[in-house]
Structure 1
Amino acid sequence: MKRVGFFFAGFSAILLGFASQFFSTFFYIFFRKFFNILSLNHDSFNIDTGYIMIMYSVVLIFFMGFIYHHYLGGSFEVPSVSESYNWNIIGCFLLILPATQFIAGLVQIFYNIISPQVVENYEHIINDSGLGDINIVTMQIYAVIFAPLAEELLFRGFALRMFKKSVPFWCANLLQALAFGLYHMNLVQGTYAFALGVLLGYICEGTGSIYFSMIYHIMFNLWGTLITEMATKISILQGFLGLLYVIMLLASPATFLLTKKAICTRRRNLCLQQKLEYHNMI
C-alpha cells in the first residue's frame, strides 16, 4: 500500500503546482485591490502575469525546498567550483543544449504538419502569457530563473523521489517526466517537456545534485526565450543557429556519451572522497 501511496504522491506534484499558482493569483489580486481601495483609487488595474508567476515560483521554491531537504533526504550542498569534473559536466551541457533545442523545434514542426490548430493554440498561449516578448522583463525573469528552480524542486526534487519509492529509477524517471509534460497543459510544450524531463531526471540522479538539473533547465529556458527570440529578428543569427542545430544534432550521440562520461567521473571522484573521509574519521 505504501508503494501505491508514493506512486500517487508523485503525480500530486501537478496539483501542488496548480494550487500554488491559484494561491499566488488570488493573493496578488486581493492585495492590489486592497491597496487601490486604501488609496481611494477605484480604477481597474492591469494584472502583471510576470509578478504572479514569480510569486508562485517563490512559494514553490521555499515550500518544496523545505520538503525536499527535511523529509526527502535531499541535499543543498553546493558542488565545488574548484573541481574540474563539475565544470566538465556544465561544458557538456553547452554541447547538448543546441541538440535538445533543435528537437523541441522539430516537435513543433511535427505538430504543425499533422495538426496546425494545435500549434496555433500553443502560440496563443505563449503570446498571451508574455513569454514570447523579450520586452516583458518580469516574464523573462520568471522563465529563465524562477521557473527552472521551482520546477526542478517540484518534479526532480519531489516527484522523482516519490516515484522512486514505488518503482525502479528508469520507470520513476519516465513518470516524473510525464507529470512534467502534463503540467504544461498543452500538447506541443508538453511533448518536448516530457523529453526534457527525462534528460533532467537522469542529470539529477546521475550527478547526485539537483543543482545540475537546475543549471541545465536555466540554460534551456534562456536559449528558448531570449536567444531564439533574438534570432527571429536577426537573419544572420538565425542562419548561424540553424547550422549549429544541424551540426549538434548529428553530433548528439557523441555529446551524450561525453555527458555520461563526465557524470560518471564526478560520481567516481565523490565516492573516493567519501571513502577517504570515512577512513580519516576511523
Structure 2
Amino acid sequence: MRKYRDIFLITIIHTILILTSTSLVTIITNRVTNVYVYSVLNIVLLVLIYYNMYVLIYKFPVDIIKIKYKNNKKKITHYITILLFIMVTNSILLSKLENTFLNLSLYSVLPKLNLILDTSSKLIIYLLSLFIQTCLIAPIAEELIYRKFILNNLLDNCNAFKSIILSSFLFSIYHLNLLQGINAMIIGVFLGYLYHRTCSINICILLHFINNFINFIILTIYIT
C-alpha cells in the first residue's frame, strides 16, 4: 500500500511542478522578445522539473511521510478520488488565473512567436529548443517516471491489466488537456504493454521519441 501512496504522491508533485512551470513560462515569455532567451528559458525550466523528479523518486525517501492506509479497495478508491480532485482543481484554477487575471492562454503563445520569430535564424533556434524539449528530454524523463517507476511498482501490487491502465491514466492526467490526454492514454497503454512484455525501457523511449517527433514535424509545418 505504501507503494501506491508513493506513486500517487509523486504523480501529484510532478503535475503541480509542470503546471506551475508552464504558467511561469507563459508569464515570463509573454514579455520576452528575444528568441534565445525564450528558448533557453524553456529548456532550463524543463530540465529543472525533471531533475527535481529524479531527486524525488531516486534520492529522496518518500516514505518519511507517515501516512498509514489499510490494504483495501475503499481506501485506494478514496485516495484516487483525492488525487483526481487535486489535479483537476489545479488545472481549473490555473486556467482561470491565466485567462481572467493575466489575459493569457496557451494559444496566446503562438501569436507572440510570430513577433519573436521574424527571421529564419530565430526560427531555427526556436525549433531546435522545441526539439530538445519534446523529442529528447520529455521521452526519456516521462518513460523513466511513468513506465520504469510507476508501472513497475504497480506491477508488484496488482495484475498487468490494471497496472497498465492505471499508469496510462495517470500519464494522461499529467498532460491536463483533453486531446493530448486521450492521445497520451492510448500511447501509454501501448507503451505500458510493450514494457511489460519486453522489460526494455529503451524501446519505450524510442517509440515515445518517434511519437513526439511526428507531432514536432506537424507543429513545425504549422509554424512555418
Per the normalisation by structure 2, the TM-score is: 0.57
Q: Is the 8 A contact 1:181 1:189 kept in 2?
A: yes
SS, match of residue 46 in structure 1:
coil
* Match of residue 128, structure 1, among 96, 104, 109: 109
Q: Is the 8 A contact 2:140 2:205 kept in 1?
A: yes
Indicate how the Cα distance of structure 1 residues 129 and 20 shifts in structure 2: closer, same or farther if over 3 A, else same: farther
Task: State the shift of 1:12 in Å.
Answer: 2.9
Indicate how the Cα distance of structure 1 residues 12 and 65 shifts in structure 2: closer, same or farther if over 3 A, else same: same
**Residues 1:54 and 2:47 aligned together:** no
Task: State the shift of 1:171 in Å.
Answer: 0.6
**Residues 1:158 and 2:155 aligned together:** no
**Residues 1:140 and 2:131 aligned together:** yes
Task: State the shift of 1:150 in Å.
Answer: 1.1
Distance 2:173 2:131 in 1: 22
Task: State the shift of 1:189 in Å.
Answer: 0.7
Task: State the shift of 1:216 in Å.
Answer: 0.5
Match of residue 176 from structure 2: 185
Show the 5 A alignment for 1:180-259: 180-226=171-217, 228-229=218-219
How many equivalent residue pairs?
A: 164
**Residues 1:17 and 2:8 aligned together:** no
Indicate how the Cα distance of structure 1 residues 230 and 54 shifts in structure 2: closer, same or farther if over 3 A, else same: closer
Q: Is the 8 A contact 2:18 2:49 kept in 1?
A: no
User: Please, which runs of 5 or more residues in structure 1 have no aligned partner?
Assistant: 33-43, 72-123, 235-282
Indicate how the Cα distance of structure 1 residues 7 and 69 shifts in structure 2: closer, same or farther if over 3 A, else same: closer
SS, match of residue 176 in structure 2:
coil
User: Please, which runs of 5 or more residues in structure 2 have no aligned partner?
Assistant: 61-104, 118-122
SS, match of residue 166 in structure 1:
coil
Task: State the shift of 1:179 in Å.
Answer: 0.3
Task: State the shift of 1:157 in Å.
Answer: 1.6
Rg comparison, structure with higher value: 1
Q: Is the 8 A contact 1:184 1:190 kept in 2?
A: yes
> 1:98-132, CA deviations, whole angstroms, 9 ceiling, x for partnerless residues?
xxxxxxxxxxxxxxxxxxxxxxxxxx7367379x9
Indicate how the Cα distance of structure 1 residues 146 and 129 shifts in structure 2: closer, same or farther if over 3 A, else same: farther
Q: Is the 8 A contact 1:156 1:201 kept in 2?
A: yes
Distance 1:56 1:159 in 2: 23
Match of residue 6 from structure 1: 3
> 1:33-82, CA deviations, whole angstroms, 9 ceiling, x for partnerless residues?
xxxxxxxxxxx9629565444334434555555777789xxxxxxxxxxx
Q: Is the 8 A contact 1:58 1:146 kept in 2?
A: yes
Per the normalisation by structure 1, the TM-score is: 0.47
Q: Is the 8 A contact 2:164 2:192 kept in 1?
A: yes
User: Identity percentage over the alignment?
Assistant: 21
Show the 5 A alignment for 1:59-138: 59=48, 61-62=50-51, 125=106, 128=109, 135=123, 136-137=126-127, 138=129
Which structure's relative contact order is higher, taking Cα pairs within 8 Å and 6+ residues apart? Answer: 1
